[in-house]
Amino acid sequence: MREWKTFSPADIPCLRVLGRTTDVRSPLTLFWTASGIELNVKASELRVLIEADYGNFEPWLDILIDGARTQRLMLQKGKQEICVFRMMDPSVTRHVLILRDTPAMPKDDQTLLQIHGISTDGSFEELPSRDMKIEFIGDSITSGEGGCGAVGEMTWNSGCFDCVDNYTFMTARELNAEYHVLSQSGYGIFCDWRGWTGGAMPLYYTQVCGLAHGSRNEALGAGTDWDFSAWQPDVILVNLGTNDDGSFTFAGQWINGNEFLDPMRLNPDGTPNAEDLGHVEDAAVNFLKLLRAKNPEAQILWVYGMVGSRMMPTLVRAMERYLADSGDTRAELMPLADTLPGEFGSRQHPGYPAHAKTAAAIAERIRTLRLLNA
Amino acid sequence: MREWKTFSPADIPCLRVLGRTTDVRSPLTLFWTASGIELNVKASELRVLIEADYGNFEPWLDILIDGARTQRLMLQKGKQEICVFRMMDPSVTRHVLILRDTPAMPKDDQTLLQIHGISTDGSFEELPSRDMKIEFIGDSITSGEGGCGAVGEMTWNSGCFDCVDNYTFMTARELNAEYHVLSQSGYGIFCDWRGWTGGAMPLYYTQVCGLAHGSRNEALGAGTDWDFSAWQPDVILVNLGTNDDGSFTFAGQWINGNEFLDPMRLNPDGTPNAEDLGHVEDAAVNFLKLLRAKNPEAQILWVYGMVGSRMMPTLVRAMERYLADSGDTRAELMPLADTLPGEFGSRQHPGYPAHAKTAAAIAERIRTLRLLNA
Amino acid sequence: MREWKTFSPADIPCLRVLGRTTDVRSPLTLFWTASGIELNVKASELRVLIEADYGNFEPWLDILIDGARTQRLMLQKGKQEICVFRMMDPSVTRHVLILRDTPAMPKDDQTLLQIHGISTDGSFEELPSRDMKIEFIGDSITSGEGGCGAVGEMTWNSGCFDCVDNYTFMTARELNAEYHVLSQSGYGIFCDWRGWTGGAMPLYYTQVCGLAHGSRNEALGAGTDWDFSAWQPDVILVNLGTNDDGSFTFAGQWINGNEFLDPMRLNPDGTPNAEDLGHVEDAAVNFLKLLRAKNPEAQILWVYGMVGSRMMPTLVRAMERYLADSGDTRAELMPLADTLPGEFGSRQHPGYPAHAKTAAAIAERIRTLRLLNA
Amino acid sequence: MREWKTFSPADIPCLRVLGRTTDVRSPLTLFWTASGIELNVKASELRVLIEADYGNFEPWLDILIDGARTQRLMLQKGKQEICVFRMMDPSVTRHVLILRDTPAMPKDDQTLLQIHGISTDGSFEELPSRDMKIEFIGDSITSGEGGCGAVGEMTWNSGCFDCVDNYTFMTARELNAEYHVLSQSGYGIFCDWRGWTGGAMPLYYTQVCGLAHGSRNEALGAGTDWDFSAWQPDVILVNLGTNDDGSFTFAGQWINGNEFLDPMRLNPDGTPNAEDLGHVEDAAVNFLKLLRAKNPEAQILWVYGMVGSRMMPTLVRAMERYLADSGDTRAELMPLADTLPGEFGSRQHPGYPAHAKTAAAIAERIRTLRLLNA
């Protein structure tokens, strides 16, 4: 009879935490989508004790064994033990990946997913380091919105996301990379899809998870400064601009609390107003400066174009200004192929084929850049 | 505020039960893989109250909404409420499919999966009938063994199956068919992969689920006669022969309880012994007679070849004998393409690409046969 | 220095003549599309002396070496020597295929393509026999109309055909079959696309090439009876019905010489007239009887559907009548997948992708039938 | 009756000459592979009067109408009239492309392909300019060696090339580019595949076609200086390095005329000798300088990797040195995917699938670079 033991995440030396979080490991809080843990284990059975909570938007969980997703499930409120695998040949070492498959949910102060313990009858084995580190920064596309659900489904809820059938996961797998994802549906460079300037990803870049609100998230450290020295990416991939584009065609003035927002304006001929485009351009330049300030050695790759390309000239100007001003030689813009008919998932967002082709293109470019910069 | 109600499966008129089971609906017992329920619902939330039990081999559950799999999960022992969806736009009618994704498990007397209730804040809508009915009869291939898990994984447990990324599901989807699956890993026409003649699918064809053992399964009616009049398939698809083939190369004599089995013999030149092949041929002829006796109008399609084709001459002879003896004009044999390198899943079994190409070939043939017989 | 020699086709024992022609080999006349010669040769250089003529529609030639097309060219009038290959390593045996890639052209009495001689510095090697023989009978689709030229090109001339990127060639290659093609653009089972009953392929089935007209073709034996004993196909594949369908929608009454034709009639609701459909059905039944009379052992496979399927019910009735009347068990109808957008070639005819998928489906079915009938 | 007229290439204003040649148009000499003419014509028939000659390696010709290759043929010695098309609907304007599909053949002083005249019954129409100009510089890969012939064929002769099923053609088509190809089998940056330093493409870059030898080629102007002002490419694509790599493993000392060559050396551990690699690196740097000197505005894209990647570190160093020395910001290195099993053509060279994937990658990169530099 094999011995059954339970471990805190803090007590497993070869466990790797994925995604930005605080130093606390007991329990370990998972704020962002695609955050979680990975470990190598030699056992017949493995269980994970998690705790979940939510107001409206429940967290979902993915379990992958040796790279194959075996379970994907909606979590209930409270503590619950999930069986990762059982009745397995215990003489084989398997790689286990457990991921939060739900974004940070700024609209739900109750959102919570924590790992309290890992139980097994086996042993944890060494976990080799990956070949590189990538930080992805994006919006709904990067969150995998539309990755789950039927093509015609239009409801926005926790179930419409997928962080595995997702270009972030696929790119990292292709490059054997450890990665973080910072992404939020609707958010942009300068403003969100309705023109709200609070919905700009750069505002939250220096915090652990500044998007997560409410007293519990605050107490858990979501708003504290992220320690950039602890995890320096080799590549920063920014995929923003699609919601800034959308803000120009948002119909009607939007009220944030008691405030009326200044909408992004269209010219009479239907093109975006130049002054408002300037705001986006400035925000992009400033974000590039911030990224470089915090990550002196990283290759910066700004990608854009999976859902329309109207912001491309603005991004070209921003990148040119940034490169000229800074003298930086390790930042560039990369256009992505548009999502074509047949490549969509639910919610009129990029589906599996669109994510797959995007991942292939990005992985090829990163491989090239690393070769040239080697 | 929408009203929350709970229904027994017996009380939902437009609920369709999938798979062979008894008349009892409260609770509804799911014996076979790919058995379950389907319904159309207009609601913001839907939950299903299930009960599961097992000795060694836990049951797994699939949830599909409008044809897209959203959850796949390992079940725990006891009663548990699974949330099928929540926070959905309630003005839209969605198709919900809830499936047992685990075979009947003859080795586990405790195997149990029951549906006690469905809870929702919405309404059940009419469920149109499908274009045809198909009955699939097979072994591990038809059970989807190898459909889940990494390609190198060799452990046999409940988690290695998949009834959705499976040629049965894909064929039925392509043809808009309602279908039943009767399948068991290791079983054959005349004997199982070790030569045990108790592991022959024809032995169990006339019962609800004669493979499921133990007093509880007995009490639930697994061993009772199946009422063929209640569900007459338009097409019977038999995919058997692979384990009869395997029995000729099973190494060592196998003991069933206290019995030594007569092994299937190989000739000195390594080819199967003709007398033993004759047993397989006879069993196939007899099974064809049984199928026709119980299903006077069905098109019978015997497919074979996804994992080797050594039994093909035996099946050809069996089909010729049956056709000649019976005068039947609605039964035929169809060779399937072998599973090629790159098309395998776990446990060296056909993976997704193999199931997809098989489904395409079978669906095309069924469409042709129905056209010709129209 | 290697010796250069010229041979008449009559003097090369291991040369295989492809396609229906007369016994004359010196010169050898190629009447039908896909007719030609094949041989194995070990040489550094090979030339073929051909003679071509035409009124309006010049013949084209394909040269394939070891299965790869190396040349495709329009022929000029008169005798001309075509270099098949030169400067080749002479120690290797290569398979050479030289094909007329132009139909029999009933509208051009001057059409002529003959092979007078083969010159080489090497030797002719043994040519193994193929695994089976197939006879294809069809219309423009089988002639490969649309296989050459840009997708938008609508001109009908000799250059719009392709007999290599063609389902006949691809099916035969897949099955290692020797094959004959009898096909004519516009022709049908009962009548041509304008309703002319002279444009019915069955009328010409018993002659060498009854479609080829004019005194020279007559002198060359085009109209003589074909000797069925000399070349019995294992499989007869009929792909007819598309032009009979078209005849119902041919606009305007057509005059053949001085005759007004009886058009095929549409009902007021736009469906084909039942009496006229009956003519097509009768013609199909009679053609099946003729095929069987001339080919007692062949498997007959009637395929249909690459460009619309309106004649399918008529063909189903015809096949049922034929099977019931004759007791034949080796004839069947096989629906083909329609040509989809993106699969078209020039002249709104099936292009390469359509031919490829058709060949795959037909080859699979022939393989099955041969297995079952083995 | 339409009027039949013959024109010299010099007399057709809207004819575009493709590939480097001299100013002489009557006749027009085609030195390089993929050189030829393109024109738009509205006619029922078009013929081209060409003249060909050779010692050992005959030239081949491709004819494309509206982008579809209709003929590919081996040419005979002497003047000959080739029919490009006939019996066409003369009311439609068609694009005609006539290409030499044979490299410059430095080993055959007699190589000759000239266009003397174009005859037609129709009219030449305006030919719009392309979106960009590309100059490709390469070796056998860029010449399309292996693009024609069966996969197992190993003979090197004129028939083994293909300039249409070729990444150069496909890239240009994708980008609507006019292009020149300068390429020679076996040649490299510093030396050819046997270490001969005369086989270096940079030596011939400033001449019309310095590779073509013999008194006739000399008289035709092959060795005269190319007028770079007449045709400035937007993109220069260099695909060299594969034969420099090969030179390190060339077995045995090679004699060029009476000279013994200094071989490229391998270290005892089988890696290339650093000093010899330095020669390749220097040659690459110098070639980049030459390209920039002659083409001040062009984007330079050096691609490498279709058949092995051993020279990549050398090329990386060369590009870095060049960029640092020159301050150039419009030159970069791009790794190409290796040719995988199943993607080869004849002569163990990249086949159609390899060329297609290469073209897609290059076209995407050029599109990106043009966007960023716009």
What Rg, from alpha-carbon coordinates, does chain A have?
21
> Given CB atoms, is B76 within the 8 Å cutoff of chain A?
yes
Contact A21, A30 (CB under 8 A): yes
Contact B145, B160 (CB under 8 A): yes
Is C129 buried (19+), middle (13-18) or exposed (0-12) by CB count in 10 A?
exposed
Give the minimum alpha-carbon distance from A138 to chain D in angstroms, rounded to a whole number.
Answer: 21
Q: Please name the residues in contact with D301: beta carbons below 8 A apart, sequence gap of 6 or more.
A: D235, D236, D237, D238, D331, D332, D334, D362, D365, D366, D369
Residue B121: predicted pLDDT: 97
Contact D316, D344 (CB under 8 A): no
Whether chains A and D touch (3+ CB pairs under 8 A) is answered by yes
Number of domains within chain B: 2
Phi, then psi, of A368 in degrees rounded to 5: -65, -45
Whole-angstrom Cα distance, residue D38 to residue D118?
A: 12
A331 forms beta bridges with: A300
> Given CB atoms, is A86 within the 8 Å cutoff of chain B?
yes
Query: Which ipTM value was assigned to this complex?
Result: 0.95
Contact B334 C368 (CB under 8 A): yes
> Given CB atoms, is B161 within the 8 Å cutoff of chain A?
no
Residue B2: predicted pLDDT: 77
User: How do the pLDDT tens digits run along chain D, 374 residues long?
Assistant: 579 999 999 999 999 999 999 999 999 999 999 999 999 999 999 999 999 999 999 999 999 999 999 999 999 999 999 999 999 999 999 999 999 999 999 999 999 999 999 999 999 999 999 999 999 999 999 999 999 999 999 999 999 999 999 999 999 999 999 999 999 999 999 999 999 999 999 999 999 999 999 999 999 999 999 999 999 999 999 999 999 999 998 866 667 665 667 778 999 998 999 999 999 999 999 999 999 999 999 999 999 999 999 999 999 999 999 999 999 999 999 999 999 999 999 999 999 999 999 999 999 999 999 888 76
**Largest distance between two CA atoms of chain A:** 77
Angle between helices C167-175 and C352-373 in degrees, nearest 10: 40
Whole-angstrom Cα distance, residue C8 to residue B17?
A: 74
pLDDT digit string (tens) for B96-152? 999 999 999 999 999 999 999 999 999 999 999 999 999 999 999 999 999 999 999
Pairing state between β D16-18 and D36-42: antiparallel
Q: What is the three-class DSSP state of B19? A: coil
Contact A319 D367 (CB under 8 A): no
Those chains having 3 or more beta-carbon pairs within 8 angstroms of chain D are A, C
pLDDT band, residue B262 (cuts 50/70/90): confident
> Given CB atoms, is D271 within the 8 Å cutoff of chain A?
no
pLDDT digit string (tens) for B200-238? 999 999 999 999 999 999 999 999 999 999 999 999 999
CATH number of the domain that residue A114 is part of: 2.60.120.260
Give the minimum alpha-carbon distance from B32 to chain C in angstroms, rounded to a whole number.
Answer: 31
Those chains having 3 or more beta-carbon pairs within 8 angstroms of chain B are A, C
| Chain mean pLDDT for chain A | 95
Q: Are C63 and C167 members of one domain?
A: no
A209's tokens: 């998870």
- Residue C66 gets the label, from left (phi > 0), alpha (psi -120 to 50) or beta, of left
- Residue D122 gets the label, from left (phi > 0), alpha (psi -120 to 50) or beta, of beta
C258's tokens: 């001085």
pLDDT digit string (tens) for A182-229? 999 999 999 999 999 999 999 999 999 999 999 999 999 999 999 999
| pLDDT of A34 higher than 90 | yes
Q: Are B148 and B287 members of one domain?
A: yes
Q: How far apart are the first and last CA of chain B?
A: 51
- What DSSP string runs through C144-171? TTTSSS-TT----SGGG--SSSSHHHHH
pLDDT band, residue B180 (cuts 50/70/90): very high
Angle between helices B167-175 and B352-373 in degrees, nearest 10: 40
Q: In chain C, which residues have their Cβ closer than 8 Å to the Cβ of D68?
A: 148-151, 153, 346
Between these two residues, B253 and D232, which has the higher pLDDT value? Answer: D232
Contact D71 C74 (CB under 8 A): yes
Contact C56 D87 (CB under 8 A): yes
Residue A340 carries which DSSP code? Answer: P
Last residue of a domain, one of B125, B147, B173: B125
Q: Are B140 and B40 members of one domain?
A: no
Q: Are D116 and D186 members of one domain?
A: no
> Given CB atoms, is D333 within the 8 Å cutoff of chain A?
yes
Give the minimum alpha-carbon distance from B112 to chain C in angstroms, rounded to a whole number.
Answer: 41
Residue B29 carries which DSSP code? Answer: E
Mean pLDDT by 10 residues, chain C (374 residues): 90 97 97 98 98 98 98 98 97 98 97 98 97 98 97 96 98 98 98 93 98 97 97 98 94 66 86 95 98 98 96 95 95 94 96 97 94 78
Q: Tokens 């990494």 appear where?
A: B150
C139's tokens: 């219309």
Which of D221, D233, D350 lies closest to D292, judged by CA?
A: D233
Q: Are C118 and C155 members of one domain?
A: no
Residue B259: predicted pLDDT: 61
Q: Sign of dihedral through CA atoms C253, C255, C258, C262?
A: negative
pLDDT digit string (tens) for D201-250? 999 999 999 999 999 999 999 999 999 999 999 999 999 999 999 999 88
Residue C259: predicted pLDDT: 62
Whole-angstrom Cα distance, residue D180 to residue A223?
A: 59
Last residue of a domain, one of C77, C93, C125: C125
D267's tokens: 């270290």
Residue of C88, C89, C107, C165 to mutate when probing chain D, most D C-beta within 10 A: C88
Q: Are D361 and D280 members of one domain?
A: yes
Q: Which amino acid appears at position C215 of this protein? A: S
B232's tokens: 């007459």
CATH number of the domain that residue B343 is part of: 3.40.50.1110
Contact C150, D67 (CB under 8 A): yes
Q: Are B25 and B136 members of one domain?
A: no
Compute the 3-state secondary structure of chain C and give helix, strand, coil in percent, each to the nearest 5. Answer: 25, 30, 45
Q: Are A307 and A197 members of one domain?
A: yes
Q: Are A108 and A155 members of one domain?
A: no
| Chain B residue whose CA is closest to C333 | B372
pLDDT band, residue B252 (cuts 50/70/90): low
Last residue of a domain, one of B95, B125, B155: B125
Closest CB to A374: pick one of D316, D361, D374: D316
Angle between helices A352-373 and A167-175 in degrees, nearest 10: 40
C317's tokens: 């009735």
H helix or E strand, kind and range, residue B278: helix B274-294
pLDDT over 90 for what percent of chain B?
Answer: 93
Q: In chain C, which residues have their Cβ closer than 8 Å to the Cβ of D56?
A: 87
- Note down the domain range covering C343: 132-372
Q: Are C105 and C197 members of one domain?
A: no
Contact C335 B367 (CB under 8 A): yes
Q: Are C110 and C194 members of one domain?
A: no
| pLDDT of B92 higher than 70 | yes
Angle between helices D167-175 and D352-373 in degrees, nearest 10: 40
| Chain D residue whose CA is closest to A361 | D361
Residue B246 carries which DSSP code? Answer: H
> Given CB atoms, is D66 within the 8 Å cutoff of chain C?
yes
Q: Are C41 and C11 members of one domain?
A: yes
| pLDDT of A252 higher than 90 | no
Residue B169: predicted pLDDT: 98
| Chain B residue whose CA is closest to C316 | B372
Give the minimum alpha-carbon distance from D350 to chain C in angstroms, rounded to a whole number.
Answer: 15
Whole-angstrom Cα distance, residue C181 to residue A124?
A: 68
Closest CB to B312: pick one of C316, C364, C371: C371
Whole-angstrom Cα distance, residue B301 to residue B369?
A: 10
Whole-angstrom Cα distance, residue A144 to residue A34?
A: 10
